[in-house]
Amino acid sequence: MTAEGRARVQQNDLLLHEAVIKNEPEAVREALKRPTDVNCRNNYGRAPIHWAASRGNVEIIKLLMSAHCDIEAVDKTRDYSKLVFPQFGMRPLLMAAWHGHLAAVQTLVKAGACLAATNKKHNDILQCACARGSKDVVAYALSLGANVQGCDAAGDAPLALAARAGHAGVVELLLDSGADVDATNKIGRTALHVACEGGHSSTAALLVSKGASRDARDHSGRAPLHQAAVHRHTELVRVLLDTGCNVNATDNNGVTSLQMACAQGCRGIVEHLLAYGADVHLQNNVGSSALHAACAADANDIVELLLAHGADPALTDQVTRTIKSLRQTDIATKQVDSLFI
């Protein structure tokens, strides 16, 4: 082919990509009538079939398949100006599932797309749908025999992926389909842990109602309550406390949720924890208490609250710092000084 011919084909390839991206079937038909590579890739390593699947346009998907596109095309890493685009490893079927396009998923499956295919993170069709909350695609994948306990590269099962994003409807469907409510990922976190990371109160409550362990510990010893507190999810903390979780649970460093909340100056969480009986006297592995944490964070309103609940200002940590030595402002100084008079 001459240079002029190659240039013409490249221009036609661009027109094909543009037509698919714009969701214009007639323009796609016209583009396919010209000399073009139906599997041409853009800078992200994506072919027209990827874009059609991500948009859920079944008509365009069928047009491309009629032109013998590769329905197993995988997007690729590409070095561009010394920057490397991430290699997602997405195939058209995975993209359709990720974007929640059931009809597109069904069309690709009927055409013989590989159901066992996974992306770079080892997410299969079910996991892609769960992560994005596509309940109808999840139900379809399960009907095809997708593994409800399959794990991705991080060890997350479909249940954890749905819980992390707060897709309560998908979570319930997975549990009704036999998902292990307390399955753990590679760092020991359950679906309840990851739901708490994202602050998804309704999902967390659903998981507990379905039997999830309220006090499960990850590899760092953190319970779901720790995750809710450290991520500053005030309402979720109350929801967990209402379920009867251990308010004084400590992680591997001896840190309580109360200490975490104090360190971050989260008065609302501190109030909930104290109302449910959090122990203000507990010290972590280096001897720091909730009062130490509040003073170090310059959280004077929390200092007042802890003192009102009987916190001992004379406690010292392992480097013999008292609360008085950690005072940060004039207000805190006056509060603490009055206790030593």
- Summarised one tens digit per residue, pLDDT across range 205-260 is 999 999 999 999 999 999 999 999 999 999 999 999 999 999 999 999 999 999 99
Percent of the chain with pLDDT over 70: 87
- Summarised one tens digit per residue, pLDDT across range 43-59 is 888 999 999 999 999 99
Q: Write out the two tokens for 213.
A: 């362990």
**Pair type for strands 79-80 and 83-84:** antiparallel
Q: How many CB atoms lie within 10 A of CB 331?
A: 14
What is the structure's pLDDT at 316?
84
193 phi/psi in degrees, rounded to 5: -55, -50
Query: End-to-end CA distance of the chain, in Å?
Result: 94
What is the structure's pLDDT at 333?
45
Domains of the chain (ranges plus CATH)? 1-76+83-114 (1.25.40.20), 123-246 (1.25.40.20), 254-341 (1.25.40.20)
Judge whether residue 144 has pLDDT over 70. Answer: yes
- Summarised one tens digit per residue, pLDDT across range 163-176 is 999 999 999 999 99
Mean pLDDT over residues 103-126, rounded? 96
Judge whether residue 341 has pLDDT over 80. Answer: no
Mean pLDDT over residues 92-100, rounded? 97
What is the structure's pLDDT at 9?
52
Residue 201, amino acid: S
Judge whether residue 338 has pLDDT over 50. Answer: no
Judge whether residue 321 has pLDDT over 90. Answer: no
289 phi/psi in degrees, rounded to 5: -105, 180
- Summarised one tens digit per residue, pLDDT across range 17-48 is 999 999 999 999 999 998 899 999 888 889 99
Looking at every residue in the chain, the average pLDDT score rounds to 90
Q: How far apart are CA 205 and CA 252, in angstroms?
A: 25
120-129, 141-150, 203-212, 332-341, range with the lowest pLDDT: 332-341
What is the structure's pLDDT at 96?
97
- Summarised one tens digit per residue, pLDDT across range 174-183 is 999 999 999 9
Mean pLDDT over residues 197-212, rounded? 97
Mean pLDDT over residues 282-301, rounded? 94
